[in-house]
Amino acid sequence: MTAPVLEVKGLSKSFGGVKAIRDLSFQVHPHDILGLIGPNGSGKSTTVNTLAGVHAASAGEIVLDGAHVQTLPEYERVALGLARTFQTARLFPEFTVREQIALGAQVTRRSHPLSSVFAFGRRSAEDEAVAAHVEELLDMTGLRPVAETKTGAISSAQQRFLMIAMALAARPKVVLLDEPAAGLVAHERKELGRLIREIRDSGVAVLVIEHHMGLIMEICTRIVVLNFGAKIAEGAPEEIRNDKAVIDAYLGE
């Protein structure tokens, strides 16, 4: 078995007296699409935010490709290979889609964030590599037709795909997707499922939080189930579907 790209060990997070995550452990391997599910308030968003560095962990370890990152600030975790998307769009409405994707690469770069898009004098080899990667991402995410369109003028579904493209522009080892299917209609969800598989096939592990069980059951290699901040089950989709504790947690919601 390959080494995990992300290892979460005994992670806990309290807000005052509220224990939002309790002693949570799981691993994400390079070829995983790991689903994180659970009823409302079970700690899914807190888990993603603690992994990303928005919240400081109360206890536990976060190991990214062998490096302990639990005390590092958010941007350093991104630079080390842990990228994430947000539940709501965080875009510059006056930027074009192509510029916005290039901006996603800035955290790992030394030169001007947009020098790969605008010709500021001579492009460096690094700029050329970023520009080529942005073109790949435009194709991968289906955003090529709106590459020149301002982000404020594209559909909300396209904005969701754009946020995934931005996260990938940082060349992560693992990407955290926070409810990527929210607001998508059936054919867009299907396209999202295809994209998530393609991301994994390109060598980027995926951790996805999602309410849409159909999508989770279809694309995930493994699923971790949270209830009241604790892991109550972990396994393949078919195991989770038939797990009594999981059925009870959802029926009791």
Determine the Cα–Cα distance for residues 104 and 184; give it in Å rounded to an integer: 23
Stretch that binds Mg ion, among 39-47, 108-116, 159-167, 215-223 (CB under 5 A): 39-47
Q: Does 87 bind ligand ADP (CB under 6 A)?
A: no
Task: Report the residue number, 147 or 230, with the smaller CB distance to ligand ADP.
Answer: 230
Tell me the C-alpha to C-alpha distance, in Å, between residue 251 and each of 14, 39, 226, 238.
26, 10, 14, 18
Tell me how far, at minimum, the Cβ of 44 lies from Mg ion, in Å. 5
Stretch that binds Mg ion, among 37-45, 52-60, 159-167, 242-250 (CB under 5 A): 37-45
From residue 12 to residue 51, the character string flagging contacts with ligand ADP as x (rule: CB under 6 A) and all else as - is ---x--x-x-----------------x-xxxxxxx-----
Start-to-end CA distance of the chain, whole Å, equals: 37
Question: Are 97 and 148 within 8 A, CB to CB?
Answer: yes
Q: Which does 40 bind (CB under 5 to 8 A by kind): ligand ADP, Mg ion, none?
A: ligand ADP
* Buried-exposed string 191-230: b where 16+ CB fall within 10 A, e elsewhere: ebbebbeebbeeebbbbbbbebeebbbebbbbbbbbbebb
Q: Among all residues, whose Cβ is closest to Mg ion?
A: 45
Largest CA distance in the chain: 63
Q: Does 172 bind ligand ADP (CB under 6 A)?
A: no
In the complex, which residues of this chain contact ligand ADP (CB under 6 A)? 15, 18, 20, 38, 40-46
